[in-house]
Amino acid sequence: MRRPVARNLALLAAGAALLSVGAAPPTTRHEAPARHTPKAPVAVGHGGAVSSVDADASAAGIEVLRKGGNAVDAAVATAAALGVTEPYSAGVGGGGYFVYYDARSRTVHTLDGRETAPLTAGSGLFLENGEPIPFAEVVSSGLGVGAPGTPATWQRALDAWGRRGLSTVLKPAERLARDGFTVDETFRAQTAANETRFRHFPDTAELFLPGGELPAVGSTFKNPDLARTYKELRREGVDALYRGDIGRDIVDTVGKPPVDPDSGWNARPGELSERDLAAYRVTSPPPTKTSYRGLDVYSIAPSSSGGTTVGEALNILERTDLSGASDVRYLHRLIEASRIAFADRGRWVGDPAFEDVPAKELLSQRFADSRACLIEDDAVLTSPLAPGDPRDPGPCATGGEAAPTTYEGENTTHLTTADRWGNVVAYTLTIEQTGGSGITVPGRGFLLNNELTDFSFTPANPAVHDPNLPGPGKRPRSSISPTIVLDRHDRPVVALGSPGGSTIITTVLQTLTGFLDRGLPLVDAIAAPRASQRNTERTDLEPGLYDGGTRQRLEAIGHSFRENPEIGAATAVQRLPDGRWLAAAEKVRRGGGSAMVVRPTR
């Protein structure tokens, strides 16, 4: 099973130059941003690489690489720029997970910068009079806001592995916020989708609905308040948020959301305090590690379920030859492996500071084999499927009651960077759903997260312990899956990740198998139409699969589907044998992504 992978990687490397589109180096003029930076989904070259959903953000990372920064510096610069151009997906008011490959030691390290619940939170955080508060009412409220982890993640990463300080790497984003960027169709569409609730909050409406109207495509969008926030963070460091004026403004906003009294909206207050911000800490858990086709797959450990769930699914697929399988058999196996892994995720994964999470056992090949035997080529498993017991795996055994997969907002953003020294970063950051809480901190220019809605409001199944109920200082379970794959010499093969809520896991899984097993060039593995099964009755399919004959053949086996217009928005980098980097992003999803390298080649 290992030789097809080696062959595929060699073919991909040989063909990479033919597929490349060299992105022009960004301008570094300080008087204005690169407002019309072109997008390209793939680029090949030397000196480092950046891939994100946005051209201005990728250009910010490239600028830092060109000035001597490394992959970590570029990742923070890109993330900060995404806080300007993708403010509905990420920013200072959110959190995320950071995976770093150190080329000198050939080791992988991770940072958990997930938001945390207030120290006053209990398991009944989202209950009123014993009943759960409607989800939509919690989303746009102070009650759903967790302590932000993004600024602390930036500082921790730079302190541990960066070559530049926060005051340097935030400069491109500050400039971009001050001078503005060009509004595209995606930004306008996301604003339109949030228009009703944005109007509930005057500060949000003033910023994102200038003059009371949706921003016009092609217009320049400026955020001077965010520019000043970045300047304050550059000058005072992240203590300005965790122990200073920015933090006090966050706490005041959460405790008394500035809602328009004429809107009639009940913006419930949250209990986030200055003590919660001062107590916030980024953790550094060991990465998850899974062996697949002779390669080592590293990702983030709980509190995210990404590493364990992608890893378990890969282990389930390990003994199936996907390289020679028909499209129907490949997708059937992929769907069923994901269904099983999500069943186990729902039962076992939560914040390990509060829950006994058997991460090692979930990633054991023995457990995967005990679950893989449930899969038959001519039948479909029933969802929701009951979990197995990784601590005592029995052949084809399930145990206890099934726990349905809870809702997670499908927005977020992912970036991937690499540098001339061989270091690599896969970083996924978020404010939860598109537009987060919808609440802008007055005078600060950024939206607050609604990340606490990733907790279960009530037990997913009352008959089973739910590891994802709220608790004081607890991190809600995530599906974020930044992933780095190393070869047998501990050198990077590929790094990738995606936004998409719980579909992040299936997007990373499908992209990995498309690249490693099916022999697709990286940009085509990202572009391939996606299927997403998350232990639900029906599997989501993008139109490219839903409208084709493959769906009918899978339905003949017993699968049930629903159409999803867009799943995820991945970015990735690949290390080529000659030392060049190949950066890859979406061709179409979210308007297409932006892959750049420092020195493009053909």
pLDDT in tens, 448-494: 999 999 999 998 778 788 999 999 999 999 999 999 999 999 999 99
pLDDT at 9 over 90: no
The label of the residue with tokens 């997670």 reads 408
Q: Which residues are CB-contacts of 382 (< 8 A; sequence separation ≥ 6)?
A: none
Mean per-residue pLDDT, 91-117: 98
pLDDT of residue 221: 98
pLDDT of residue 548: 87
CATH number of the 46-286+405-600 domain? 3.60.20.40
Of residues 498 and 17, the one with the higher pLDDT is: 498
Mean per-residue pLDDT, 318-327: 96
DSSP single-letter state for residue 267: -
pLDDT at 11 over 60: no
pLDDT of residue 3: 34
Looking at every residue in the chain, the average pLDDT score rounds to 92
Per the annotation, where are the binding residues for L-glutamate? 114, 454, 478-479, 501
Mean per-residue pLDDT, 277-301: 98
pLDDT at 17 over 90: no
For residue 410, name the pLDDT band (cuts at 50, 70, 90). Answer: low
pLDDT at 150 over 80: yes
Measured CA to CA, the distance from residue 462 to residue 223 in angstroms comes to: 46
Structural domain spans, the chain:
46-286+405-600
Q: Is the Cα torsion angle 363, 364, 369, 374 positive or negative in sign?
A: negative
Measured CA to CA, the distance from residue 40 to residue 23 in angstroms comes to: 7
pLDDT of residue 4: 41
pLDDT at 37 over 80: no
Q: Where would I find the H helices in 67-214?
A: 71-85, 135-139, 150-161, 166-169, 171-179, 185-198, 202-208
Measured CA to CA, the distance from residue 8 to residue 69 in angstroms comes to: 32
Interval 562-572: pLDDT, tens? 999 999 999 99
Q: How far is CA 316 from CA 65, 380, 544, in A?
A: 39, 16, 26
Q: Which residues are catalytically annotated?
A: 412
Lowest mean pLDDT among 27-31, 65-69, 128-132, 431-435: 27-31
pLDDT of residue 34: 39
pTM of the model: 0.93
Mean per-residue pLDDT, 41-54: 98
